[in-house]
């Protein structure tokens, strides 16, 4: 399984801090997003937000980045610390 | 010997509790006679934003990734400038007006390196480190949006 976590506004929009996606259903970050979007229209719409960022195992990546079972994939809005 | 002890103090601390500014400055200065310059920045919760009265902030972060990103930013600063000690503290959780949010302290032999490295670390913390602020105003709670000006400020270092 691929572990998926959400932060900040996205976490609240989805009403979910984390879930899992089968590695059989997704081999890239973009495919993880597609698999999550199948849950319902709300998830599909919120995850379609172009400004969302993604990290795999704590490293910032783009949508074509490959993922495998055991990876931690995080989706979140642009950061606003400091 | 003392240097070894001080180096054991982590350069990065993500914490819910407040920090003592004076204590942090002492850690940067104690037994550090090679460095003549100490530059510190601290950020606090202000009572206004975009014309609205702010009542408080909530800070969320991505544990482990935050520390990793901050360590990378500090490493980059150390390669670019001749700096001595570095300390970065960032608070998380619920913060009230006037409370400290962030601290960046840098020492160097001469002031230019510490000034530049401190600003560089702060600029990249703003756009790279996975922290998110939720603001409580008179109109309710809102997650803050990232600012283009912060992005441009960080990009300006690569010019």
Provide ipTM, 2 decimals. Answer: 0.95
- Does A79 sit within 8 Å of B59, measured CB to CB? no
Name the residue in chain A with its Cα closest to that of B67: A58
Strand (E) positions, chain B?
A: 12-15, 37-44, 48-49, 52-61, 83-91, 93-96, 100-108, 131-137, 140-143
The least confident of A72-81, B7-16, B83-92 is: B7-16
Q: Which residue in A74, A78, A82 is closest to B122 by CB distance?
A: A82
The CA–CA distances, whole Å, from A27 to A1, A2, A34, A72 equal: 11, 10, 11, 13
Residue B62 contacts A where some CB pair is shorter than 8 Å: yes
Contact indicator for B106, B121 with CB cutoff of 8 Å? yes
Residue B130 contacts A where some CB pair is shorter than 8 Å: yes
- Does B131 sit within 8 Å of A82, measured CB to CB? yes
- Does B132 sit within 8 Å of A80, measured CB to CB? yes
Mean pLDDT of chain B: 94
For the stretch A15-74, pLDDT in tens is 999 999 999 999 999 999 999 999 999 999 999 999 999 999 999 999 999 999 999 999
Name the residue in chain B with its Cα closest to that of A72: B65
Residue range B122-147: average pLDDT?
96
B5 contact partners, CB below 8 Å, separation of at least 6: none
Domains and CATH numbers, chain A: 2-76 (3.10.20.30)
Residue A28 DSSP one-character state:
B
**Is residue B2 scored above 70 in pLDDT?**
no
For the stretch B130-142, pLDDT in tens is 999 999 999 999 9
User: How far out from the chain centre does Cα B123 lie?
Assistant: 9
Q: Could you tell me if residue A15 is left (phi over 0), alpha (psi between -120 and 50 degrees) or otherwise beta? A: left
Question: Of B51 and B114, which is predicted with more confidence?
Answer: B114
Looking at residue B159, what is its pLDDT?
82
**Is residue B24 scored above 50 in pLDDT?**
yes
Q: Which residue in A7, A58, A74 is closest to B132 by CB distance?
A: A7
Looking at residue B9, what is its pLDDT?
57
Does the reported pTM lie above 0.90? yes
- Does A81 sit within 8 Å of B65, measured CB to CB? no
B36 contact partners, CB below 8 Å, separation of at least 6: B108, B109, B110, B111
Residue B57 contacts A where some CB pair is shorter than 8 Å: no
For the stretch B59-114, pLDDT in tens is 999 999 999 999 999 999 999 999 999 999 999 999 999 999 999 999 999 999 99
Among the listed residues B87, B86, B106, the one whose alpha carbon sits nearest the alpha carbon of residue B38:
B106
**Is residue B5 scored above 50 in pLDDT?**
no
């Amino acid at each position: 399984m691929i572990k998926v976590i959400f932060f900040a506004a996205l976490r609240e929009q989805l009403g979910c801090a984390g879930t899992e996606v089968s590695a059989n259903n997704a081999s890239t970050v973009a495919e993880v997003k597609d698999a999550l979007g199948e849950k319902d229209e709300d998830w599909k719409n919120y995850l379609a937000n172009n400004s969302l960022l993604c990290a795999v195992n704590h490293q910032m990546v783009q949508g074509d980045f490959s993922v495998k079972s055991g990876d931690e994939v995080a989706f979140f809005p642009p950061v606003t610390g400091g | 010997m003392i240097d070894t002890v001080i180096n054991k103090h982590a350069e990065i601390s993500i914490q819910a509790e407040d920090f003592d500014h004076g204590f942090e400055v002492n850690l940067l200065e104690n037994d550090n006679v090679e460095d003549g310059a100490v530059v510190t920045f601290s950020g606090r919760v202000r009572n206004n934003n975009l014309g609205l009265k702010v009542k408080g902030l909530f800070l969320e972060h991505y544990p482990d990734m935050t520390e990793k990103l901050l360590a990378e930013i500090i490493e980059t600063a150390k390669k670019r400038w001749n700096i001595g000690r570095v300390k970065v503290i960032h608070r998380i959780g619920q913060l009230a007006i006037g409370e400290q949010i962030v601290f960046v302290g840098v020492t160097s032999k001469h002031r230019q390196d510490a000034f530049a490295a401190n600003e560089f670390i702060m600029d990249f913390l703003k756009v790279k480190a996975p922290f998110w602020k939720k603001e409580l105003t008179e109109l309710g709670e809102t997650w803050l949006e990232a600012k283009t000006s912060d992005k441009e400020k960080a990009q300006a270092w690569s010019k």
